[in-house]
Amino acid sequence: MFFRSQEQMLAGLDISISWAYLAIPVGSSLSALALIDNLLKSRFKEM
């Protein structure tokens, strides 16, 4: 999806729409890392 939409532009922002599509997996990955970090911190706090 990222490569297929590189030619399309977001209206009013003058950036490629592929950046908006790329933000979804990047944000999800960062959220997953934060979740794992919180789970590990709470588990070690209980010990």
Instruction: Give the count of domains, the chain.
Output: 1
The pLDDT score that the predictor gives to residue 32 is: 98
The answer, as to whether pTM is greater than 0.75, is no
Whole-number Å distance between alpha carbons of 36 and 34: 5
**pLDDT tens for the chain, residues 1 to 47:** 656 667 888 888 888 888 888 899 999 999 999 999 999 998 887 76
In a domain, 14, yes or no: no
Amino acid making up residue 36: I
Contact 16, 9 (CB under 8 A): yes
In a domain, 13, yes or no: no
The pLDDT score that the predictor gives to residue 20 is: 86
> 13: which DSSP letter?
T
Whole-number Å distance between alpha carbons of 27 and 14: 22
The pLDDT score that the predictor gives to residue 40 is: 94
The residue range of the domain holding 28 is: 19-46
